[in-house]
């Protein structure tokens, strides 16, 4: 009898995961959705209480483009523009570049300085509650949302949690997988001579980019001090220190994800560089030897910079441009409904 109870319990739980009761008490069948990343990407960890479903992904997408989510007309896609890889050309408050949305499903550290951590659900909770300060009364008075959340999440009252879960569903599907470089990794495209030379610089000790901008995500998602500053004049330059107050974290930032990097107008946490040429020149000759500089930056042979020739710098940039994914920035399943 006990065992029967357990089995019944399990059946109900499994059932509840993708089927929720609707207004009239009937079960609405949600359509499970299989997210298919490139085969060479690491496994994606999806919380068991937020399994992907077509309907919830669509709901998250609606919210992403809906000014009603904020109290001042802002909406996510206003700053995170698809045609630019979900970033924008303006600096946010003239202080920092807007971070792109790409392959967020694999992140555990978020923001330039790593100030947010956890699952995509956690991060979206922060976005709707603390960043947007979404007015739950307002949302609960929108009949369409009220009924959709009731049908999909089984709630009478929408809270930050359901908003966050729906947004996490959508943002988890935002995977860039059709750049020239992705196709190259799959053996479906070949690089030009310059791109190939650039790739070698990136992935060997010569340029040594790959220790932090790791394959295939192009970021290890960890904090590093790359020697951008020796004095931390601006508060923002202190980076992860502002989160931990530990001196060892001074000037540390999360390794930037380089997918679609060529579409950006400002680079680094304060947008100090305005072109890939400037970024590459920084790595070539601009590094400051601060005490907590990442040891990768001063490995033998590059204590005084990379010493790349003009042609090598050009080739490295040509390779960085192969991270641009034109399919991603025009994929209508990420655009406004
Ligand atoms: C007014 C412009 C603006 C709007 C609107 C906006 N963001 Fe952002 N977003 C930013 C900026 C700037 C950052 C970088 C902040 C930082 O690093 O401290 C960012 C960072 C993020 C990140 C972290 C990405 C990463 O690489 O770690 C996520 C996720 C995100 N935003 C989601 C959203 C969502 C969801 C919405 C809608 C609820 C939204 N944003 C609305 C400007 C905006
Ligand atoms: C020790 C780790 C490390 C190494 C090695 C490294 N990077 Fe970075 N990279 C970072 C970090 C951390 C950031 C973000 C810095 C910030 O936020 O100010 C970054 C940012 C960037 C950006 C700016 C991206 C953006 O969106 O603003 C580019 C481009 C870049 N790196 C390219 C390279 C290239 C090319 C190399 C090799 C020559 C390289 N990196 C080597 C850690 C590293």
CA angle 84-88-90, nearest 5°?
145
Rounded Cα–Cα distance for residues 222 and 214 (Å): 11
For residue 132, which atom of ligand 1 is closest to its CA? 38
Q: What is the pLDDT of residues 210-254, one digit of tens each?
A: 999 999 999 999 999 999 999 998 999 999 999 999 999 999 999
Share of the chain above pLDDT 90, in %: 88
Q: How far is the CA of 279 from the centre of ligand 2 (A)?
A: 8
84, 201, 209, 292, best to mutate for ligand 2 pocket (most atoms within 8 Å of CB):
209
Confidence of residue 26 (pLDDT cuts 50, 70, 90): very low
Rounded Cα–Cα distance for residues 275 and 80 (Å): 20
pLDDT at 1: 40
Q: How far is the CA of 306 from the centre of ligand 2 (A)?
A: 14
* pLDDT of 129 higher than 60: yes
* pLDDT of 310 higher than 70: yes
pLDDT at 12: 41
Rounded Cα–Cα distance for residues 164 and 255 (Å): 25
Tokens 């980019």 correspond to what residue?
209
Q: How far is the CA of 80 from the centre of ligand 1 (A)?
A: 7
**Looking at residues 270-276, what average pLDDT do you find?**
97
* pLDDT of 16 higher than 50: no
Distances from the Cα of 2 to the Cαs of 6, 9, 91, in angstroms? 6, 11, 61
Q: What CATH code would you report for 20-175?
A: 1.10.760.10
Among candidate residues 166, 2, 187, the one with its CA nearest the CA of residue 69: 166
Q: How far is the CA of 121 from the centre of ligand 1 (A)?
A: 14
pLDDT at 18: 52
**Looking at residues 14-28, what average pLDDT do you find?**
49
Rounded Cα–Cα distance for residues 196 and 316 (Å): 9
Contact 239, 250 (CB under 8 A): yes
Query: By alpha-carbon position, which residue is closest to atom 20 of ligand 1?
Result: 99
Q: Does any ligand 1 atom lie closer than 6 A to the CB of residue 112?
A: yes
For residue 267, which atom of ligand 2 is closest to its CA? 27
Q: Does any ligand 1 atom lie closer than 6 A to the CB of residue 76?
A: yes
Q: How far is the CA of 99 from the centre of ligand 1 (A)?
A: 6
Tokens 């003009």 correspond to what residue?
310
Rounded Cα–Cα distance for residues 128 and 232 (Å): 31
Q: Which CATH class is domain 180-323?
A: mainly alpha
pLDDT at 27: 53
Distances from the Cα of 197 to the Cαs of 212, 241, 263, 317, in angstroms? 19, 37, 22, 10
pLDDT at 250: 97
Confidence of residue 5 (pLDDT cuts 50, 70, 90): very low
**Rg value, the chain, Cα:** 22
Q: What is the pLDDT of residues 149-191, one digit of tens each?
A: 999 999 999 999 999 999 999 999 999 999 999 999 999 999 9
Q: What is the pLDDT of residues 275-309, one digit of tens each?
A: 999 999 999 999 999 999 999 998 888 888 899 99
Tokens 């555990």 correspond to what residue?
108
Q: Which residue spans of the chain are classified as CATH 1.10.760.10?
A: 20-175, 180-323
User: Average pLDDT over the chain, rounded to whole?
Assistant: 92
pLDDT at 110: 98
Q: What is the pLDDT of residues 78-128, one digit of tens each?
A: 999 999 999 999 999 999 999 999 999 999 999 999 999 999 999 999 999
Long-range Cβ contact pairs of 92-98 (< 8 A, separation 24 or more): 95/236, 95/270, 96/236, 96/269, 96/270, 96/271, 97/264, 97/265, 97/266, 97/267, 97/268, 97/269, 97/271
pTM, entire model: 0.93
**Looking at residues 24-35, what average pLDDT do you find?**
78
Q: How far is the CA of 262 from the centre of ligand 2 (A)?
A: 13
């Amino acid at each position: 009898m006990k065992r029967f109870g357990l089995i019944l319990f399990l059946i109900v739980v499994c059932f509840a995961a993708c089927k929720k009761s609707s207004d009239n008490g009937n079960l609405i069948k949600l359509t499970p959705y299989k997210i298919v990343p490139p085969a060479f990407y690491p496994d994606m960890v999806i919380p068991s209480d937020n399994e992907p479903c077509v309907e919830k992904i669509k709901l998250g997408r609606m919210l992403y483009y809906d000014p009603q989510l904020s109290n001042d007309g802002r909406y996510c896609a206003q700053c995170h523009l698809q045609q630019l890889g979900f970033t924008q050309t303006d600096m946010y408050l003239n202080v920092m570049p807007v971070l792109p949305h790409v392959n967020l499903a694999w992140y555990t550290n978020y923001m330039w300085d790593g100030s947010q951590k956890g699952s995509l659900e956690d991060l979206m909770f922060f976005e709707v509650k603390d960043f947007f300060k979404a007015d739950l009364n307002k949302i609960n008075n929108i009949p369409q949302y009220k009924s959709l959340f009731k049908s999909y999440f089984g709630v009478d009252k929408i809270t930050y949690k359901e908003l966050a879960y729906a947004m996490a569903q959508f943002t988890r599907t935002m995977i860039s997988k059709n750049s020239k470089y992705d196709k190259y990794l799959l053996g479906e495209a070949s690089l030009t001579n310059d791109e190939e030379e650039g790739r070698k610089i990136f992935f060997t000790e010569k340029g040594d980019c790959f220790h932090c901008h790791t394959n295939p995500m192009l970021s290890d998602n960890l904090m590093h001090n790359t020697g951008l500053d020796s004095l931390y004049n601006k508060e923002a330059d202190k980076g992860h220190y502002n989160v931990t107050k530990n001196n060892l974290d001074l000037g540390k930032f999360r390794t930037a994800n380089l997918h679609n990097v060529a579409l950006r107008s400002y680079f680094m946490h304060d947008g100090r560089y305005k072109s890939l040429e400037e970024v590459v020149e920084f790595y070539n000759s601009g590094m400051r030897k601060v005490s907590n500089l990442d040891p990768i930056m001063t490995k033998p042979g590059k204590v005084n910079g990379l010493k790349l020739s003009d042609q090598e710098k050009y080739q490295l940039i040509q390779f960085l441009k192969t991270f641009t994914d034109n399919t991603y920035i025009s994929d209508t399943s990420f655009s406004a409904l």
